[in-house]
């Protein structure tokens, strides 16, 4: 049968971002997928030579607006390791709280977009309605909805007082109740399962071999989560990586749904154990040496390589984002799938192109 | 002005359709544009509908800096939109390049490539500000049709 090439993107109604795949199809079955990237490349790693290491915190927050807090956290933790700064324990717990709030809003955003991807618009609206409440928590505690800018090298810049802590706990209880009402529709509905079960299957061996990270990996039954490294205060909190063995789109959506509930639990634990110390430690001197720092983003494992040369500018800031690691697994999922299932399968890796291309 | 034309203009101003283009943004402004559509802000009550085809749209929302690869795409989308049209640059990046203005692959604000009518500042711009920007853009469309005055430049502190 003759082969045709169908472009998917860069402007596609399912994705707000320019992801471009060239799909080689035979009839309506995908034979091969070829990615083309570079539409949102800015080259922000070079700004390290212009901005000093404290100003770079604001730049790395804008690598990706959805998980900005976690990017800044990773960068700050890397510099703190390099400069031997002991971060106060209250700052570690506050970092956990804000990063988990970011994970909740990112997963809710994805669940909404995924519902929109298979044409269930009212479910999309429900998830985004819940998400707005998390944005309100961000705005009330940090002053901005998306880029909250709480991390500095050596600690955090904002505190949560007792009233705010109680309010966050109240809001989370209400959110969890509302979210649990949507669980049946998202994971058990006949029509939804028709679109998600068995679409974009990735086996555990393939996932490990191709270097999948985050929910894409855990959706194939591999219990690996960078939070188990115990950075910030995660070593003192109880949680288990959420996994699901099926490896299809349904499994990945289940992992993300359960992780949202898990993150709410982590925030509760962190608030109940919040110690009473300073917010930030003094940072002496200039960064010298090399360091690699890993954290868990909503999309998977994020890696920063930092190199300092004793001046106020970093010599190199290298960022490896989870979507970059998840593109080879996506290309492995697509062959054999129907053309109509491509948006669903592409969405399940939660592509963040602005992270990938920076 | 004919009766039909009158009727079309009325519809144009009552229900502006927007097309959103991500032009190298960090996603912060993109998700705020999407948040405008959701129940809390709900722009559909003003008749504002997000469409995927530039040929159906009256207003172009651009988020993010322009870079060397996508400036042609942006120009192309702008050229495909029917007149009268308005362009809104959203966020610090869309207005001037923002924190990325010194990067090697960044051309600058959206106005380096296409004419911009309304600037919505903020990093990221809040949904309330974006809705205000679209409503201001309607006055621009109205002025372009010769039905009103061009809105004056306002600076909000």
Which pLDDT tens digits describe chain A residue by residue (358 residues)? 788 888 877 666 666 677 778 888 888 888 888 887 777 788 888 888 888 888 888 888 888 888 888 889 889 988 888 888 888 888 889 989 998 998 998 999 889 888 888 888 888 888 888 988 888 888 888 888 888 888 888 888 888 888 888 999 998 999 899 889 888 888 888 888 888 888 888 888 888 888 888 888 888 888 888 888 888 888 888 888 888 888 888 888 889 999 999 999 999 989 988 888 888 888 887 888 888 988 988 888 888 898 888 888 888 888 888 888 888 888 888 888 888 888 888 888 888 888 887 7
Name the residue facing A50 among B30, B31, B102 (closest C-beta). B102
Name the residue facing B105 among A41, A109, A146 (closest C-beta). A41
The boundaries of the domain holding residue B108 are: 3-144
Which value does ipTM take for this structure? Answer: 0.80
Which of A7, A10, A16 should one mutate to test binding to chain B, selecting the residue with the greatest count of B CBs within 10 A? A16
Q: Which helix (H) or strand (E) holds B132?
A: helix B127-144
Residue tagged 């309605």 (tokens): A129
In a domain, B24, yes or no: yes
Asked if B27 and A352 come within 8 Å (Cβ–Cβ), the reply is yes
Among the residues of chain A, which ranges form H helices? 56-61, 68-82, 89-117, 121-142, 162-188, 190-196, 204-209, 215-218, 249-272, 322-333, 342-348, 353-357
Asked if A62 and B99 come within 8 Å (Cβ–Cβ), the reply is yes
Q: Which residues of B touch A65 (CB under 8 A)?
A: 25-31, 124
Q: Which residues of B touch A64 (CB under 8 A)?
A: 26-27
Instruction: Specify the long-range contacts of residues A327-331, CB closer than 8 Å, at least 24 apart.
Output: A327/A35, A327/A351, A327/A356, A328/A210, A328/A211, A328/A212, A329/A202, A329/A206, A329/A207, A329/A210, A329/A211, A329/A212, A329/A216, A330/A33, A330/A200, A331/A33, A331/A35
Q: Which of B41, B37, B40 is nearest to B20 (CA)?
A: B37
* pTM, entire model: 0.87
- With beta carbons less than 8 A apart as the criterion, state whether A252 and A221 touch: no
CATH number of the domain at B66, please: 3.40.50.12280
pLDDT at B98 over 60: yes
In a domain, B54, yes or no: yes
Label residue B6 exposed, middle or buried (CB < 10 Å: 0-12, 13-18, 19+). exposed
In a domain, B152, yes or no: no
Q: Which of A45, A315, A71, A353 is nearest to B105 (CA)?
A: A45
Number of domains in chain A: 1
Which of B27, B36, B64, B129 should one mutate to test binding to chain A, selecting the residue with the greatest count of A CBs within 10 A? B27
CATH number of the domain at A247, please: 1.10.645.10
Asked if A43 and B64 come within 8 Å (Cβ–Cβ), the reply is no
Can you tell me the distance from the alpha carbon of A66 to that of A48, in angstroms, rounded to the nearest whole number? 22
The boundaries of the domain holding residue A31 are: 3-357
Can you tell me the distance from the alpha carbon of B9 to that of A171, in angstroms, rounded to the nearest whole number? 45
Asked if A129 and B38 come within 8 Å (Cβ–Cβ), the reply is yes
Q: Which residues of B touch A43 (CB under 8 A)?
A: 103-106
**B53 shares contact with chain A (CB less than 8 Å):** no
Asked if B106 and A50 come within 8 Å (Cβ–Cβ), the reply is no
* pLDDT for residue A14: 65
Number of domains in chain B: 1
* pLDDT for residue B47: 80
Name the residue facing A147 among B33, B38, B123 (closest C-beta). B123
The shortest C-alpha distance from B127 to chain A (Å) reads: 10
In a domain, B97, yes or no: yes
pLDDT-based confidence at residue B126 (cuts at 50, 70, 90) = confident
* pLDDT for residue B153: 67
Q: Which residues of A touch B40 (CB under 8 A)?
A: 129, 132
In a domain, B96, yes or no: yes
Q: Which residues of A touch B24 (CB under 8 A)?
A: 39-42, 354
pLDDT at B154 over 70: no
């Amino acid at each position: 049968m003759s082969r045709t090439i169908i472009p998917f993107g860069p402007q596609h109604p399912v994705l707000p971002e320019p992801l471009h795949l060239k799909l080689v199809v035979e009839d309506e079955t995908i034979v091969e997928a070829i990615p083309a990237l570079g539409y949102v490349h800015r080259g922000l790693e070079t700004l390290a030579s212009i901005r000093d290491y404290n100003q770079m915190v604001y730049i790395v927050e804008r690598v990706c607006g959805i998980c900005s807090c976690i990017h800044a956290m990773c960068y700050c933790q890397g510099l703190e390791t390099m400069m031997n700064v002991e971060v106060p324990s209250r700052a570690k717990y506050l970092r956990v709280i804000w990063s988990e709030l970011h994970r909740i809003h990112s997963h809710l955003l994805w669940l909404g977009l995924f519902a929109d991807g298979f044409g269930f618009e009212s479910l999309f609206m429900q998830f985004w309605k819940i998400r707005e409440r998390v944005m309100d928590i961000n705005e009330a505690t940090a002053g901005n909805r998306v880029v909250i800018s709480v991390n500095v090298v050596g600690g955090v810049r904002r505190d949560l007082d007792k009233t705010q802590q109680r309010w966050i706990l109240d809001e989370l209880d209400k959110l969890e109740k509302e979210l649990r009402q949507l669980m049946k529709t998202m994971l058990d509905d006949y029509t939804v399962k028709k679109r998600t079960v068995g679409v974009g299957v990735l086996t555990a061996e393939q996932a490990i071999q191709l270097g999948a990270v985050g929910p894409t990996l855990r959706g194939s039954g591999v219990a690996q989560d960078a939070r188990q490294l115990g950075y910030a205060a995660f070593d003192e909190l109880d949680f288990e990586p959420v996994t699901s063995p099926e490896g299809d789109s349904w499994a990945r959506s289940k992992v993300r749904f359960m992780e949202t509930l898990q993150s709410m639990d982590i925030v509760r634990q962190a608030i109940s154990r919040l110690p009473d110390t300073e917010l930030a430690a003094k940072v002496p001197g200039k960064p010298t040496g090399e360091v690699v720092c890993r954290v868990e983003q909503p999309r998977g494992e994020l890696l920063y390589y930092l190199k300092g040369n004793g001046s106020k500018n970093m010599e190199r800031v290298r960022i490896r984002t989870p979507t970059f690691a998840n593109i080879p697994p996506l290309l492995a999922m697509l062959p054999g799938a129907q053309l109509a299932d491509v948006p669903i399968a592409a969405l399940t890796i939660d592509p963040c192109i602005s992270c990938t291309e920076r | 002005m004919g009766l039909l034309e009158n009727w079309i203009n009325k519809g144009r101003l009552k229900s502006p359709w927007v097309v959103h283009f991500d032009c190298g943004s960090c996603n912060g402004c993109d998700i705020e544009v999407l948040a405008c559509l959701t129940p809390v802000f709900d722009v559909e009550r003003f008749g504002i509908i997000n469409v995927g085809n530039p040929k159906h749209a009256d207003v172009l929302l651009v988020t993010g800096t322009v870079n060397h690869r996508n400036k042609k795409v942006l120009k192309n989308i702008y050229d495909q939109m029917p007149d009268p049209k308005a362009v809104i640059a959203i966020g610090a990046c869309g207005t001037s390049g923002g924190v990325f203005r010194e990067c090697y692959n960044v051309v600058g604000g959206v106005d380096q490539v296409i004419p911009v009518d309304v600037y919505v500042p903020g990093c990221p711009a809040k949904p309330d500000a974006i809705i205000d920007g679209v409503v201001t853009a309607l006055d621009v469309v109205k002025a372009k049709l010769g039905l009103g005055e061009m809105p004056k430049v306002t600076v909000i502190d």
